[in-house]
């Protein structure tokens, strides 16, 4: 399992999600995401997790590096 590394203000942004959406986002980041899509406009290897809990929430991550998943 790769470590999670938060870049820029991503951790602060994630903590602004409602508790249930944060939990769902964390689960999706640690496991294989169940609802995601590639984001080539953001960059090579970037993906968007879509969380449908108390609204619609998005988390962008890159998992192509061996050392960590970058959020």
pLDDT, tens digit (0-9, with 9 covering 90-100), for 4-46 = 999 999 999 999 999 999 999 999 998 878 889 999 999 999 9
**Pairing relation of β-strands 68-70 and 46-51?**
unpaired
Q: What mean pLDDT is predicted for residues 48-60? A: 94
Tokens (6 digits) for 9: 């203000």
- Structural domain boundaries enclosing 44: 3-70
Contacts of residue 15, Cβ cutoff 8 Å, sequence gap at least 6: 22
Please tell me the total count of domains within the chain.
Answer: 1
Question: CA 69 to CA 66: how far, in whole Å?
Answer: 8
């Amino acid at each position: 399992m790769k470590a999670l590394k938060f870049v820029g203000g991503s951790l602060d942004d994630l903590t602004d999600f409602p508790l249930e959406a944060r939990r769902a986002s964390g689960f999706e980041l640690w496991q294989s995401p169940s609802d995601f899509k590639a984001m080539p406009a953001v960059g090579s290897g970037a993906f968007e997790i879509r969380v449908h809990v108390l609204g619609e929430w998005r988390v962008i991550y890159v998992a192509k590096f061996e050392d960590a998943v970058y959020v």
